[in-house]
Amino acid sequence: MSERAKLKFPIEAGKILLHCCCAPCSGDVVERLCENGADFAIYFYNPNVHPREEYEKRKAAIVSYAQKMNVPFVDADYDPDRWFERVKGREAEPERGKRCDICFSMRLERSALYAHENGYPVLASSFGISRWKNIDQVNACGRKAAAAYADVMFWDYNWRKQGGSERMIQIAEREKFYRQTYCGCAYSLRDTGTRNNQESR
């Protein structure tokens, strides 16, 4: 793989809080930030992930990678009841629909609050590197979450660029990350099962 251009941080010498959803999506983002000398921490807040056993598998994978890369890890609360309350009435929404807006917003709002309270002027997320996610949707939620605080900005860098999506897969294979088969929530699990059943007929 050819050498990639050096990252240009939005704020020189500013600490970055990186919200991570899972190890596979975060592998290349974390590696690039480390390679470029970023001062950052991983923030894990994903109350959408269902069931609890799945949540613990995903968290264990990113914790292990953070330790290997010597990156500080912040483990936020797992409060699925609050998540279910936030998305109530949106159970039938498709992927990338309004339910995902609510889900991204909930997680990034909590991340922005932590950034504000703990001196991180830059908030970023690994959400957008996945081809299954709508980058514009993610960025809109991130900018809105950060806008609540004058001292926090959302870095809407496109991590897919310069082979990021391909590198993400390579790192996941190299590190033998736990690889989930659905986005995370109970409704994406339901819909994934429905698609699989239809394809098997």
Model confidence pLDDT, tens digit, residues 25-42: 999 999 999 999 999 999
> Rounded to two decimals, what is the model's pTM?
0.92
The closest alpha carbon to 20, from 63, 52, 53, belongs to 63
Q: How many C-beta atoms lie closer than 10 Å to residue 162's C-beta? A: 17
Locate all alpha helices (DSSP H) within 36-134, ordered by sequence. 52-69, 80-86, 98-117
Q: Is the dihedral of CA 5, 138, 167, 115 positive or negative?
A: positive
Does position 2 have pLDDT exceeding 80, yes or no? no
Model confidence pLDDT, tens digit, residues 127-155: 988 777 899 999 999 999 999 999 999 99
Q: Report how far residue 152's alpha carbon sits from residue 155's, in angstroms, rounded to the nearest whole number.
A: 10
In degrees, rounded to 5, the angle at the alpha carbon of residue 135 between the alpha carbons of residues 154 and 101 is: 80
pLDDT: which is higher, 6 or 13: 6
**pLDDT of res. 64:** 98
pLDDT: which is higher, 3 or 35: 35
The domain made up of 16-200 has a fold known as: Rossmann fold (3.40.50)
Does position 107 have pLDDT exceeding 60, yes or no? yes
Q: Report how far residue 180's alpha carbon sits from residue 22's, in angstroms, rounded to the nearest whole number.
A: 9
The closest alpha carbon to 108, from 135, 70, 144, belongs to 144
**Span 173-200, average pLDDT:** 78
Model confidence pLDDT, tens digit, residues 79-105: 999 999 999 999 999 888 899 999 999
